[in-house]
Amino acid sequence: MVGARDAALLRQPNLPASEREQILKNILPPAPSPSDSKSTTPTSSAAPSREPSRSRMAGPSPKSSSMSYASAVANGSATSSAQRHRGMPGSSSADGGRPESGSSSQQQQQPQKLPPKRIPGASIASKSSRTGTRGSGNSIANLIKALLHTLLFALIHSLFSVYVRGRRAWRACRSRFLAVMYYHHRTPELIRRDVSRLERLPAHLSVVLDLDEDERSGAGLEGLVGEVSEVAAWCACAGVNTLSIYERTGILKSYIPQTHRVITATLQSYFGRSRTPSLSLRTPHQPSYSPPASSSRPSSAHSTASTPNDAAGAAAPDSSGTPHLTVLLLSADDGRGTIVDLTKTLAEMAQRGKLAPADISSELVDAELEETVMGEPDLLVLFGPDVKLDGYPPWQVRLTEIFHVPDNKGVGYQVFLQALYSFAKAQMRFGR
């Protein structure tokens, strides 16, 4: 065995060759003779064959064998010194290249242990566990957030529902109270008393009615005609000269004689047969309809507000002294379609030279629409819960006062009366 001191000396790169050979001679055993090497056979296959060439060659000399072993030890020392200078494991850089102890030299001769290999499955499992933990945390946070949003939405919805129901209840009670306190009892004197304190009344009043198509056959039209007759009677009692009825489908235009007969019957129930106002029905582009029994007069389509003196009696009387009421029946065809047709007509007249382009103005369009359809109404009453014109002629509502009662359904005298009071208090500035 090579001592620790001798091994440390052999590893020194600056060791003289003479001292190296002396140390090798001391530590190496005497080389066996060729005859001994031939007769000697390996006893164990597990012994390390460090010198395979000596057993196969024909007897190397002791000097050559000792030199080969010395060169191997020198190479080992050189490798150890190189490792020490490079800072590799097995070298001691802290002692400045001093000789190491026997235990450290044995540790350097032992094979270095490789770092353990990473198992892909373990890393994936660890990543998945971390991802699962993070994902579970995010899912819980999202669930809590969704619950908070749901609770907030339910709270807001509940508060809004309570507000809407309370508003509907209050307005229903108020409407019922007004219907009881200001019921007309089909008496013109009571209606005149209700409007006698108003400073002004609309000369042209317009209403929007809907045909209830859910009713059985014939009932929808009968109910619509009944509403038209009631509103016409209220206008005649309040002193409104012109009433325009807008119904989107225009079904009333096909039943003008029947509508005239029903309105006349309703007026007779209010005024009596002897004092019934005269009535004329008119539709755009058609002459007015008035039976010979009732004295008709040309209706004035120009919309002007009546004075308190006109409101003292019924509708404005004609030449014979009998009050007269004009009812206009409108539909969606009398709105934008009429404006388009008028525009085409004016353009053709300008192209043919019959009309100068400078003469086309808003006053000309207003005059043409007033003659063919109607003039601008002073007050437009909506008996529905929302402001829904539903195709009402747009040109005629530029300066019209629009009135509606929220949460109201159906035609009622209290809504009609509230509309007249609202019109009397409105300020007509006309853009100023």
- The answer on pLDDT for 123 being more than 60 is no
For residues 109 and 96, the answer to whether their CB atoms sit within 8 Å is no
Identify which of 99, 57, 62, 104 has the alpha carbon closest to the alpha carbon of residue 81.
99
Residues contacting 234, CB < 8 A, separation 6+: 184, 191, 413, 416
State pTM to two decimals.
0.58
Kindly report, residue by residue over 43-75, the tens digit of the pLDDT.
444 444 444 444 444 444 444 444 554 454 445
Mean pLDDT, range 121-132, rounded to an integer: 57
Strand segments (E) across 159-305: 204-208, 242-246, 278-282
Identify which of 117, 118, 136 has the alpha carbon closest to the alpha carbon of residue 128.
136
Confidence (pLDDT) at 377: 92
- Chain position carrying tokens 């209606």: 191
User: Quick one: which H or E segment has residue 380?
Assistant: strand 379-382
Mean pLDDT, range 153-169, rounded to an integer: 92
Kindly report, residue by residue over 74-101, the tens digit of the pLDDT.
455 445 444 444 444 444 444 444 444 4
Residues contacting 28, CB < 8 A, separation 6+: 66, 69
Task: Please report the domains of the chain, with CATH numbers, ordered by start residue.
Answer: 182-335+373-425 (3.40.1180)
Confidence tier at 288 by pLDDT (50, 70, 90) = confident
Q: Higher confidence at residue 263 or residue 361?
A: 263
Kindly report, residue by residue over 214-233, the tens digit of the pLDDT.
655 446 888 899 999 999 99
Query: Mean pLDDT highest for which of 111-115, 187-191, 365-369?
Result: 187-191
d(CA 239, CA 325): 9
Kindly report, residue by residue over 228-270, the tens digit of the pLDDT.
999 999 999 999 999 999 999 989 999 999 999 999 999 999 9
Confidence (pLDDT) at 321: 61
d(CA 153, CA 97): 79
Confidence tier at 113 by pLDDT (50, 70, 90) = low
Q: Higher confidence at residue 296 or residue 430?
A: 430
Q: Higher confidence at residue 75 or residue 404?
A: 404
For residues 242 and 205, the answer to whether their CB atoms sit within 8 Å is yes
- The answer on pLDDT for 183 being more than 60 is yes
Confidence tier at 136 by pLDDT (50, 70, 90) = confident
